[in-house]
Homo-oligomer: A and B are copies of this chain.
Amino acid sequence: MPDVSPTRWHLAHTTWFFETFLLKSTPGYQVFHEDFEYLFNSYYNTVGEQFPRHRRGQISRPGLPETLDYRRHVDQHMMELFSAGEFDGRGHVIELGLHHEQQHQELILTDIKHVLSRNPLLPAYQTPTPMASGEGGRLEWTSVDEQLVQAGHADATFCFDNERPRHKTYLQAHELAHRCVTNGEYLQFVNDGGYRRPELWLSLGWAQVQQERWTSPLYWLRRDDQWHEFSLAGLHALEPNLPVCHLSYFEADAYARWAGCRLPTEFEWETHAAALSMEGNFADRLTARRLPIHPRGAGGEIPSKPAAMFGDVWEWTSSPYTAYPGYQPASGALGEYNGKFMCNQFVLRGGSCATSSDHIRPTYRNFFPPEARWQFTGFRLAR
């Protein structure tokens, strides 16, 4: 799976970012190893050649000890940078490096999960923890009238360049579901022949279903004539009230069509989310619970308004990933961070159970190709 990288690579790459974009321009700094510029460059053409992505898993050196040495070396120099206060004008780059590392922390988890899932032993990464039982409950809808709204990041606090500039856009009248689609609901789609009915799918989606022989979301497995789900805690019976997770844009779109609804646009999503507090099931808040669950209100109830928009699962929107009007990428290599990927991808919002709580924003735009399933992705309906 060419999108998956070893943990060792993620550790080296996030450190490479600080070395490359901050330390290298610091007078007197000596690179840790001259070959690491090439080995751990993910996709920055401006920096130089990149070791091919699909071969990252074939590199056994540097091993873990040397990789940790690399990290310590760079961390130490960064600390010196902080002490000397010598980073004026590059504060944004440091902040970017930290957010970048948070993104890779999430990828470490998704990649480990994928590697373990491809092992017939289906090993568990961590011990199982008791899960909230919860109920899906009847789907409730919140209406919004048509109106002109603002979208995009509003102030000078940190954001990625693709969240700017703030701009006007026209929202159509619509309704948004109060929660994400659950395993139980998605199972109805499966049992109604969802994966065998081409009329429910985009053309590219139906081609993908046939070519890859999809019959369910990525980590669902049939065992003893029952559906199970593979998680970082190993294989367990499918929990009907969890948000369905690890499915592609194609599957979310097909379910929505089957249900007579649609996916929300990113601007519909943002308008609702901006009104909420950013509470949810994140990587740090809920200890070791790498499974998405519905947060409950204070009295244990499932909120009826759109809630749980943050954490749990990244929510697919119907919006292709494009540039906001007036978008300007940063100059130099850091301009390669987001803008050059604005093609053939769809926007996801809200963060997941593997995202850090201080990483997400209502305006945060994640993006993946429509066939990607190895991220913690789910969706909610709109109509």
Residues of A that sit less than 8 Å from B by CB: 35, 38-39, 43, 45-46, 51, 55, 57-62, 115-116, 118-121, 123, 146, 148, 167-170, 172, 198-199, 201-206, 250, 318-320, 322-323, 325-326, 335-336, 340-344, 370
CB pair A320 B322 closer than 8 Å: yes
25 A–B pairs (Cβ distance < 8 Å), ordered by A:
A35-B120, A35-B121, A38-B120, A39-B120, A39-B121, A58-B115, A146-B168, A148-B148, A148-B170, A169-B170, A172-B326, A199-B335, A199-B336, A201-B340, A202-B341, A202-B342, A202-B343, A204-B343, A205-B343, A250-B343, A318-B322, A319-B322, A320-B322, A343-B370, A344-B370
Which chain B residue has the least Cβ–Cβ distance from A167?
A: B172
Whole-angstrom distance from the CB of A3 to the nearest CB of chain B?
A: 13
Contact B172 A170 (CB under 8 A): no
| Given A58-B119, A60-B119, 17 new contacts (CB under 8 A) | A51-B120, A58-B115, A59-B119, A60-B115, A61-B123, A148-B148, A167-B172, A169-B170, A172-B326, A199-B335, A199-B336, A201-B340, A203-B340, A203-B341, A204-B344, A205-B343, A318-B323
What's the nearest-Cβ distance from chain B to residue A111, in Å? 11
Task: Chain B residues near A123: list those with CB within 8 A.
Answer: 60-61
Taking a contact as CB atoms closer than 8 A, the residue among B120, B325, B335 that contacts A172 in the complex is B325
Measured between beta carbons, the chain B residues less than 8 angstroms from A206 are: 45, 340
Q: With a CB–CB cut-off of 8 A, which chain B residues contact A61?
A: 116, 119, 121, 123
Q: A4: shortest Cβ distance to chain B, in Å?
A: 9
State in angstroms the CA–CA spacing of A199 and B330 once bound together.
12
Complex CA gap A57/B6 in Å reads 12
CB–CB B118/A55 < 8 A: yes
Question: CA separation between A257 and B318, bound complex, in Å?
Answer: 26
**Chain B contacts for A344, CB-based, 8 A:** 204, 344, 370
Q: CA A360 – CA B60 in complex, angstroms?
A: 32
Closest chain B residue to A336, Cβ basis = B199
Residues of B within 8 A of A45 (CB): 198-199, 206
Q: Complex formed: what's the CA distance from A302 to B342 in Å?
A: 35
Query: By the criterion CB–CB under 8 Å, are B58 and A57 in contact?
Result: yes
Q: Which residue of chain B lies nearest to A55 when distances are taken between CB atoms in the complex? A: B118
Closest to A318 in B: B322
* Cα(A50)–Cα(B167), bound, Å: 45
The reply to whether B60 and A116 form a contact with Cβ atoms under 8 Å apart is yes
Alpha-carbon gap, A342 to B318, bound state (A)? 10
Q: Which residues of B contact A55 (CB under 8 A)?
A: 118
With A45-B198, A170-B169 known as contacts, the answer to whether A343 contacts B203 (CB < 8 A) is yes
Most B Cβ at <10 Å: residue of A205, A319, A343: A343
CA–CA, A76 and B72, complex, Å:
44
Q: Which residues of B have CB within 8 Å of A343?
A: 202-205, 250, 370
- Which of A46, A121, A336, A341 has the most chain B CB atoms inside 10 A of its CB? A121
